[in-house]
Amino acid sequence: MTRKIEQVRRAKRQLDGVLLFDKPLELSSNTAMQKVRWLFRAEKAGHTGTLDPLATGLLPICFGEATKFTHALLDADKRYRATIRLGQRTTTGDAEGEIIEERPVTADEAQIRQVLLRFTGEISQLPPMHSALKHQGKPLYEYIRKGEVIERETRQVFIRELNLERFSATGPDIDVLCSKGTYIRTLGEDIGEALGCGGHLIALRRTGIGDFDLHAAHTLPELEGLDEAARDSLLLPVDSLIQNFPAMTLDAVQAARLAQGQRFGLRDGYPDGKRRLYAEGSFIGLGELVAGRLSPNRLLSGIARMAAVPKSA
């Protein structure tokens, strides 16, 4: 009987929304997401922007319909707090790897600040072999585990802000606001090389993604200490993922036409692009406005009922 009660209590449910989660050390992003999904009993869940097991911090977890809009955060700028250990290079560029070179550290705080200026703006990075970047369908880290090194091309990324937060004899703490695709591990290594002593990351914490901030995130112990109603109250609405797009309100007939896959003429005074769409006071999905014509982009499943409106309406 106890087992049956537990099975009913843990039965999965349809749940829509976004949780700002503070990922702990040594959990992969997927493992962290699965633990949170189990707590919420969510049928469907996904996360936005993978963090390495040795990285901590902001990991938005999307439930249900919110998983349709995770791409918005994948493309967003991200902010990190990183600690660089100067004077040592490792095989992985972080504390997981073996030390392969040691050099004396002579840089002072003023020299570090000067070097950081050189890495602000558009820079070139060579993706590390210890990364999830794909080559012929497999992540690079699978090749390096077998001792294979794949030739990679440099990529352009943009460092919007790069500030020295703390300076010590072993290395600096830096605050980084960067574009998608930036490897903070590589940045740490490159800063070490520019200082003439080498370096590797010993700590990394993501503090922001787009408009989301770590201060609003929730830890695993916090979530485990709440009942289900209290946990549910922490969820942000689905459209919180796409607040950077202009909003557009449709009437019932227009919403029904979109649900049927139709395009129709509409203008709102903004440049062409994606629109957050609302009807009957509720968010219904994303549309695309091009040359005065609106078409569906990604719509919530719930508006399928609107498709029952005749096409001639």
Separation CA 178–CA 49 (nearest Å): 13
The predicted structure's pLDDT at residue 274 = 95
Q: What is the pLDDT of residue 2?
A: 46
Tens digits of per-residue pLDDT, 207-252? 999 999 999 999 999 999 999 999 999 999 999 999 999 999 999 9
pLDDT, residue 150, reads: 62
Q: Which residues contact 111 (CB under 8 A, 6 or more apart)?
A: 195
CA distance 142 to 134: 10
pLDDT at residue 85 is higher than 70: yes
Give 249-302 pLDDT, tens digit per residue: 999 999 999 999 999 999 888 999 999 999 989 999 999 999 999 999 999 987
CATH hierarchy code of domain 245-308 = 2.30.130.10
Which tokens is 275 given?
């629109």
Q: Is 221 exposed, middle or buried (0-12, 13-18, 19+ CB in 10 A)?
A: exposed
Active site residue 52: yes
The answer to whether 114 and 106 are in contact (CB under 8 A) is no
Catalytic residue among 22, 52, 190, 239: 52
Tell me which of 2.40.160.40, 3.30.750.24, 3.30.530.20, 3.30.2350.10 is the CATH number of domain 78-209: 3.30.2350.10
* 50-82: pLDDT as tens digits: 888 889 999 999 999 999 999 888 889 999 999
Q: Which amino acid is at 291?
A: A
Q: What is the pLDDT of residue 100?
A: 94
Residue type, 251: D
What is the average per-residue pLDDT within 133-151?
A: 61
d(CA 289, CA 261): 14
Domain ranges, ordered by start, for the chain = 2-75+212-239, 78-209, 245-308
Domain 78-209 shares a fold with domain 245-308: no
pLDDT over 50 at 156, yes or no:
yes
Q: Among the CATH numbers 3.40.30, 3.30.450, 3.40.50, 3.30.70, which is that of 2-75+212-239?
A: 3.30.70
191 compared with 53, residue with greater pLDDT: 191
